[in-house]
Structure 1
Amino acid sequence: MIKKIREIDEDIPVIVTTAHQETTFLMQSIELNISAYVLKPIDIYKLEENLIKAIEPKILKNN
Structure 2
Amino acid sequence: MSRLIFLVLAVGIGACSPTAQPVNYYKSHPAILEKRLTECVAQFEQSKDCINAKTAYLEVHHLPIE
CA radius of gyration, larger in? 2
Q: Fold conserved (TM > 0.5)? A: no
**Higher-helix-fraction structure:** 2
Give the TM-score taking structure 1 as reference length: 0.29
**Higher-strand-fraction structure:** 1
Give the TM-score taking structure 2 as reference length: 0.28
